[in-house]
A and B are shown apart, each in its own frame.
Chain A
Amino acid sequence: MNIHEYQAKQIFAKYGVPTPRGIIANTADEAVANAKELGGTVWVVKAQIHAGGRGLGGGVKLARSLDEVKTLASEILGMTLVTHQTGPEGKLVQKVYIEEGADIKDELYLGVVLDRAKEMPIIMASTEGGMAIEDVAHDTPEKIIKVAVDPAIGFQGFHGRELVFGLGITNPDEQKKLISFASKLYKVYMDNDAEMIEINPLIKTGSGDFLALDGKMGFDDSALGRHPDIEAMRDLSEEDPDEREASEYGLSYVSLDGEIGCMVNGAGLAMGTMDTINYMGGTPANFLDVGGKANAETVAKGFEIILKNPNVKAIFVNIFGGIVRCDRIANGILEATKLVDVHVPVIVRLDGTNAIEAIEILRNANIPNIIPAVDLADGAAKAVKAAKGEK
């Protein structure tokens, strides 16, 4: 689960990680009121969406008067922001964060993320922070300092020294401030079961202080149960409504732009099924993993969600039953044909646990647009044909 910048900064503040002052706004009038309350003469109006690259996409703007705050806030609120992290469809901006303008002397980068190879969190820092950090990492990887922290010992002084000397920071006062910053951020990461924290840019101000100017946080979904305060920060409007509806039924769904709807058990086989359809000249309309607890109700729901997509010309149900029982899937398919108008051919391949019973159930029901398949290759071939309108 991801949260917004303004929420991440609330968490930072709780741990003493310094941030500029700011107030969240839902309307342009609120934005002006917030700017007044913050005081000063320069404010930044920042679109709140679950994606980065907002600056380059026109979602972060500097205002030098209250009038300008109002104009910029009304422009940004309601816009669909497209950045390299949103996908081409972009994201609707529903909130803006009004923040005091900071006096930026240097832009650094600081992040904490799990290093899968080392199997421990790694702190990454660079003096080349700002909007082109991925280019820096790609072209000049030596400019990214990486320090792994073993949770068994936690953040120690030497971790801090590796960071500041790696970055070439020589002023003792600055060294101290940055080490304290990093150690607090590590604590934010561990305490909250974060998956990723990123501050880009972390700035040095004219007076030599370090401030988190941006804040991005993602969390381990499996650990949310022990963090009700973070779960309460969930912004459902950031999530795809179909994907969300599916997840309420234990289904994992992602829509794509092809023509063959897929219903599969297990994420690996679901991807393998999409790959096979593609290999045989067809195009998958979605990824759908019915999970290990599939029953008649969830399968019916899956059909409903797949068929909402008007591009779907055929559906391929590919189940290899382990814990999932094929007879339940077969009953689900029958249930679905009663609840939703299944107007496209449905190719069904059932193998594994209780497959023989399942095939019997489908045969007895005798539904005309259900086409049985003997294996993955046969099913994918039949689905590709059916989507092209061939028999």
Chain B
Amino acid sequence: MSILVNKDTKVIVQGFTGKEGTFHAEQCLAYGTKIVGGVTPNKGGQEHLGLPVFNTVNDAVKNTGATVSMIFVPPAFVGDAVMEAADAGIELAVVITEGAPVRDMQMAKAYATKKGMKTIGPNCPGIITAEECKIGIMPGNIFKKGNIGLISKSGTLTYEGANQVCKEGFGISTAVGIGGDPIIGLSYKQLLPMFEADPETKAIVMIGEIGGDLEIQAAAFIKENITKPVVAFIAGQTAPKGKRMGHAGAIVSGSAGTAAEKMEALKAAGVTVVVSPAEIGKAVKEALSK
């Protein structure tokens, strides 16, 4: 078991024949991901990496039965690509591209939600169910199979966290990089209950950052709904107070989104909060030996 994706998940790639799309699709195939084709407009009918290319997501879904799409299109086309996937009945879109305009993601996310499609990202490393299915750009070899679920805003801290968990002799069930953009798809609050329900997952590592209030929402959710042990790290305790312009940011959130604030909220919810990412592995070990 795992969450969202496994060895049987059929995946297509939007932006399949581009440089990034090609390189990472190859890596995912080598990992064992069941990529069944891809989409590049005007290249429909061709073959790429030994797989069929389609002009539209609709064609790709009809012909391959794919349920997940990994998106590598350039930033200006991300919104369009996400909406196309949602329209074609894709169940989960994993958006790797960095630098998508916020307004486009706002529209796309609203439409995806309406169509019942889940989204991960944008600007994220993707999702991996260890030793079964990698949909993204993470180095697959550091994710050994095991019982720890991982959720992280930061790409490189996903690797750091997973690596430490594995070095302590544990492994990963599923790891999800949710991205840190202003508008993202699945967040802690939606992923935590999936890990809670997954019999394979015994503990959850949650890695956050300064800014926004997703971690605060997660803390409230954990307190009420999560029984499995949670270990958290919030990056940015030593980040300088940013120079800013205007008052609007401070007024809208009602909170400064500092690391201290988030750490307090998580502690109060019973989460083991570590002050350095170097402590994640040890904290998981302790949490599981209790």
Asked if chains A and B come from one complex, the reply is yes
Binding site for B on A (CB under 8 A): 2, 50-52, 85-87, 111-117, 119-120, 122, 124, 133-134, 137, 141, 144, 146, 150-152, 190, 193, 195-198, 200, 216, 218, 220, 222-223, 225-226, 254, 256, 264-269, 271-272, 274-280, 284, 287, 292, 320-323, 351-353, 375-377, 380
Tell whether, in the assembled complex, residue A269 and residue B247 are in contact, meaning their CB atoms are under 8 Å apart. no
Please judge, given known A-B contacts A116-B213, A119-B109, A134-B251, whether A274 and B76 are in contact too, CB under 8 Å. no
- Cross-chain pairs A/B with CB under 8 angstroms, 11 sampled: A52-B245, A86-B243, A116-B182, A116-B253, A137-B254, A254-B240, A256-B240, A268-B235, A269-B157, A320-B160, A322-B125
Please judge, given known A-B contacts A222-B75, A275-B238, A352-B142, whether A111 and B251 are in contact too, CB under 8 Å. yes
Residue B107 interfacial (CB < 8 Å): yes
Residue B275 interfacial (CB < 8 Å): yes
Q: Could you tell me the distance in whole angstroms from the C-beta of B134 to the nearest C-beta in chain A?
A: 12
> How many residues on chain B are close to A (CB under 8 Å)?
61
Tell whether, in the assembled complex, residue B235 and residue A322 are in contact, meaning their CB atoms are under 8 Å apart. no
Q: Could you tell me the distance in whole angstroms from the C-beta of A149 to the nearest C-beta in chain B?
A: 11
Cα A295 to Cα B154 in complex, Å, equals 21
Chain B residue numbers with a CB within 8 Å of A271 are 209-210, 235-236, 238-239
Binary interface profile of B, 196-227, with partner A (CB < 8 Å = 1, else 0)? 00000000000101101100010000000000
Tell whether, in the assembled complex, residue B159 and residue A320 are in contact, meaning their CB atoms are under 8 Å apart. yes
Chain B residue numbers with a CB within 8 Å of A222 are 75, 99-102
Chain B residue numbers with a CB within 8 Å of A133 are 247, 251
Tell whether, in the assembled complex, residue B253 and residue A376 are in contact, meaning their CB atoms are under 8 Å apart. no
Chain A residue numbers with a CB within 8 Å of B233 are 272
Nearest CB in chain A to that of B162: its residue: A320
Tell whether, in the assembled complex, residue B247 and residue A272 are in contact, meaning their CB atoms are under 8 Å apart. no
Q: Could you tell me the distance in whole angstroms from the C-beta of B144 to the nearest C-beta in chain A?
A: 14
Nearest CB in chain B to that of A134: its residue: B247
Chain B residue numbers with a CB within 8 Å of A197 are 248
Residue B249 interfacial (CB < 8 Å): yes
Tell whether, in the assembled complex, residue A269 and residue B277 are in contact, meaning their CB atoms are under 8 Å apart. yes
Tell whether, in the assembled complex, residue A85 and residue B154 are in contact, meaning their CB atoms are under 8 Å apart. no
Q: Could you tell me the distance in whole angstroms from the C-beta of A377 to the nearest C-beta in chain B?
A: 4
Tell whether, in the assembled complex, residue B106 and residue A120 are in contact, meaning their CB atoms are under 8 Å apart. yes
Residue B62 interfacial (CB < 8 Å): no
Please judge, given known A-B contacts A266-B154, A272-B160, A287-B239, whether A2 and B245 are in contact too, CB under 8 Å. yes
Q: Could you tell me the distance in whole angstroms from the C-beta of A199 to the nearest C-beta in chain B?
A: 10
Tell whether, in the assembled complex, residue B248 and residue A116 are in contact, meaning their CB atoms are under 8 Å apart. no
- Across the interface, A218 reaches (CB within 8 A) one of B209, B241, B245, namely B245
Nearest CB in chain A to that of B104: its residue: A223
Q: Could you tell me the distance in whole angstroms from the C-beta of B251 to the nearest C-beta in chain A?
A: 4
Please judge, given known A-B contacts A222-B101, A225-B76, A377-B278, whether A269 and B248 are in contact too, CB under 8 Å. no
Tell whether, in the assembled complex, residue B248 and residue A119 are in contact, meaning their CB atoms are under 8 Å apart. no
Tell whether, in the assembled complex, residue B102 and residue A269 are in contact, meaning their CB atoms are under 8 Å apart. no
Tell whether, in the assembled complex, residue A50 and residue B245 are in contact, meaning their CB atoms are under 8 Å apart. yes
Chain B residue numbers with a CB within 8 Å of A2 are 245
Chain A residue numbers with a CB within 8 Å of B163 are 320, 351-352
Tell whether, in the assembled complex, residue B106 and residue A196 are in contact, meaning their CB atoms are under 8 Å apart. no
Cα A112 to Cα B252 in complex, Å, equals 10
Nearest CB in chain B to that of A277: its residue: B238
Tell whether, in the assembled complex, residue A275 and residue B275 are in contact, meaning their CB atoms are under 8 Å apart. yes
Cα A172 to Cα B244 in complex, Å, equals 37
Residue B137 interfacial (CB < 8 Å): yes
Please judge, given known A-B contacts A113-B252, A190-B103, A275-B235, whether A269 and B245 are in contact too, CB under 8 Å. no
Chain B residue numbers with a CB within 8 Å of A111 are 246-248, 251
Cα A265 to Cα B157 in complex, Å, equals 10
Chain B residue numbers with a CB within 8 Å of A272 are 154, 157, 160, 233, 235, 276-277
Chain B residue numbers with a CB within 8 Å of A124 are 248, 251-252
Residues of B224-282 whose CB lies within 8 A of A: 233, 235-241, 243-254, 259, 275-278
Tell whether, in the assembled complex, residue B212 and residue A268 are in contact, meaning their CB atoms are under 8 Å apart. no
Residue B65 interfacial (CB < 8 Å): no
Nearest CB in chain A to that of B251: its residue: A137
Tell whether, in the assembled complex, residue A380 and residue B278 are in contact, meaning their CB atoms are under 8 Å apart. yes
Chain B residue numbers with a CB within 8 Å of A287 are 239
Tell whether, in the assembled complex, residue B213 and residue A322 are in contact, meaning their CB atoms are under 8 Å apart. no
Residue B56 interfacial (CB < 8 Å): no
Please judge, given known A-B contacts A151-B106, A353-B139, whether A274 and B277 are in contact too, CB under 8 Å. no
Nearest CB in chain A to that of B241: its residue: A87
Cα A2 to Cα B159 in complex, Å, equals 34
Tell whether, in the assembled complex, residue A275 and residue B277 are in contact, meaning their CB atoms are under 8 Å apart. yes
Chain A residue numbers with a CB within 8 Å of B159 are 320, 322, 351-352
Tell whether, in the assembled complex, residue A320 and residue B156 are in contact, meaning their CB atoms are under 8 Å apart. yes
Chain A residue numbers with a CB within 8 Å of B243 are 51, 85-87
Cα A119 to Cα B109 in complex, Å, equals 9
Cα A198 to Cα B245 in complex, Å, equals 9
